A and B are shown apart, each in its own frame.
Chain A
Amino acid sequence: MSTIIKATNVSKVYHRTTVPVHALNNLTLSIEEGEFTAIVGPSGCGKTTLLNILGGLDHPTSGKVEVAGTDITEMKDSDLIDFRLKNIGFVFQAYNLIPVLTALENVEFIMLLQKENKKVRHQRAMELLTQMDIADKAKNKPSQLSGGQQQRVAVARALASKPRFILADEPTANLDSSSTSNLLDLMARMNKDQKATFIFSTHDQRVMDKARRIVTLEDGTIVSDTTR
């Protein structure tokens, strides 16, 4: 397995108030291809900040992040948008589907941005919705889907662009236990079958139980890193 993400001595300091907040402190982390990694820790420990920096949504105050050998810390915002489109899939806590599009169109949308042709888009979107057990809701809009169903569409969308890895920030935080279990099983299956690399933040014990690697943060620093 090759290293997909290499974060070296990453620090992030917020200056939103008069007192600087050190969200990440000199953090170093590597993620290998095909991993199913949970970033865990109490609220405010820096999980979301770490995912944002790994996903190129935020810049570190210091340190370096390389994705597949490319340093993304010095990239311009406009280049990062293209980089994210080609390399990174996102699953958000609040699903964040486009409300005016159907489930199928939401999954197709990301491939449209990648300029895939219509036939390929449709075929792959349907395949992914089928794998996420939600093909029967393909024509439904997000408002007609439950939270669990919307999150499954969101995972399908994240996978649609064939990213190098998928970042999921608290993907089960808004789901009930049944939906959580269902979603995690599906994500684990995609990880196993499609060798999709998942990195997700959580403080949900059920999610941690499914993860093969658990990186624990406290006050912006890795306090443990275990692989099962």
Chain B
Amino acid sequence: MIASIAWRNVWRNKGRSLVVIGAMIVGIWSLAFGSGFMQSFLTGYIQSSIKHETSSGQVHHPGFQKDYDINFFIRDPKKLIDAIKSNSAVTSVTSRSIVNGMISSTRQATGVKIIGVEPATEASVTELNSLIHEGEYFEGISRNPVLIGDKLAEKLKVGVKAKVVLTFQDKEGNITAARFRVAGILKATSVSISESTVYVLKDDLNRLLQLDDNVHEIAYVTSTDADDDAIAHDLQSRFPEDKIESWRELSPILVFMEQWMASILKLLILIIMSALAFGIVNTMLMAVLERVRELGMLMALGMRRTKVFTMIMVETIYLSTVGGPVGLLVGYLTITYLGQAGIDLTDYSEGLEAIGYESILYPILQPGDYIQIVVGVILTAFLASLYPAWKAIKLKPIDALHTI
């Protein structure tokens, strides 16, 4: 009956209770939507980085990444590629040769990272072909084609089919220069791709570097639900002479962003829940202070303070948990809809792309985030109920009964 009385007490002042429940719904919805919106920024950035830059994991010679010395190539790339492919979670693999050098046009010259790729496997791993903004993906140019980013093209003042010269040191340390022709111009949110990386055919680069069939980097992608860290660690244990890293190890900034976003989400929950808690405490205190005589009467008749405490707590929890699920449901529906339709921020695309973000965001919230919100609501309801309930049991029946 305590639960029944508590439930009826919630609806004594319908207007007031509905205002609090409404505030809960709006609060939880804004929390869910806000979190989903923020997650979409993060997820978009991470996915874009994984897709176009780090892939799910990479293999290098342990000394290569230190100063990009081209003599640090992977010892047995074929065996490694076969081992990677044998993992059922791996969907595609590619290999690259890499050297730092200069690119120059008739107007300008600048330092770039030159990556030699296998067009077909590179497209399946990084979808590099999808970034073609002008020209073709290594097509239309019969000899030494090169792909460059749009910002770099702008800087060099070159277009498709324009000649550029790549200069670098070969395996023996000799300065080598070769003429390339722009096959395509890439447009990407990644600053690295659009400004400081050029892509050539691996065979062309290896010939110029005198590397034969050696490669500096193997990159692979896995299915979305794969445990990239576990896969990398498994490969590392089998190939201890090479360095095999997942995207988390390759790009600590992404991990930092993940952790930072999780902290922001917790802070957001804390702020919104605190605001809701104060609203709930205020309402419940009013409800207690309005019923001082009644609470005094209950204790005079023989209702233990623990029961009075429970009754007020249950009332508060009812008040909180009626709004919580509705807010969560509305938030879920909003995120589900916008997760499909997307939020179009093309008006701000220039600014967003400049810092590596997509201009259409797809809000997303993981089950764990919903659980966090639910736990937050329950915890808030519990904590918010303590003070009014404590206030109620501090009443002395004799004084409470004589309250007007």
Contact = CB atoms under 8 A, between A and B. Distances in A.
Interface of A: 52, 55, 57-58, 77-78, 81-82, 84-86, 90, 92, 94, 96, 98-101, 105, 108-110, 112-114, 157, 161
B293 to A, nearest CB: 7
B307 to A, nearest CB: 8
- Tell me the dominant secondary structure on chain B's binding face: helix
Nearest to B10: A100
Contact of A86 (B298, B302, B307): B302
B136 interface: no
Contacts of B9: 100
A168 B184 CA distance: 97
B293 A96 contact: yes
Interface in B264-293: 293
Contacts, number: 59
Contact of B302 (A52, A101, A105, A113): A113
A111 to B, nearest CB: 10
Interface string B206-238: 000000000000000000000000000000000
B367 to A, nearest CB: 38
Contacts of B8: 100-101
Contact of B5 (A81, A84, A101, A157): A101
Contacts of B300: 55, 57, 84, 90
A113 B305 contact: no
Nearest to B303: A113
Which are the 8 A-B pairs with shortest beta-carbon distances?
A85-B302, A100-B8, A96-B297, A57-B398, A84-B302, A58-B398, A112-B1, A113-B302
A57 B302 contact: no
A109 B293 CA distance: 17
B293 A81 contact: no
B398 A81 contact: no
Given A81-B302, A112-B1, A113-B302, A100 B12 contact: yes
27 contacts: A52-B398, A57-B300, A58-B398, A77-B396, A78-B304, A78-B305, A82-B304, A85-B301, A85-B302, A90-B297, A90-B300, A90-B301, A92-B401, A94-B293, A96-B294, A96-B297, A96-B401, A99-B294, A100-B5, A101-B8, A105-B1, A109-B1, A112-B1, A113-B303, A114-B302, A157-B301, A161-B302
B401 A110 contact: no
Given A96-B401, A99-B12, 13 more contacts: A57-B300, A57-B397, A57-B398, A78-B304, A81-B302, A81-B305, A96-B293, A96-B294, A98-B294, A100-B8, A100-B9, A108-B1, A157-B301
B377 interface: no
Nearest to B293: A96
B274 to A, nearest CB: 30
* Residue of B8, B297, B299, B300 with most partner-chain A CB within 10 A: B300
B3 to A, nearest CB: 12
A98 B295 CA distance: 9
A102 B301 CA distance: 17
A57 B400 CA distance: 11
Interface string B1-45: 100010011001000000000000000000000000000000000
A39 B1 CA distance: 36
Contacts of B301: 84-85, 90, 110, 113, 157
Contacts of B294: 96, 98-99
Interface in B131-169: none
A115 B300 CA distance: 17
B14 to A, nearest CB: 12
Contact of B303 (A81, A94, A96, A99): A81
Contacts of A100: 5, 8-9, 12
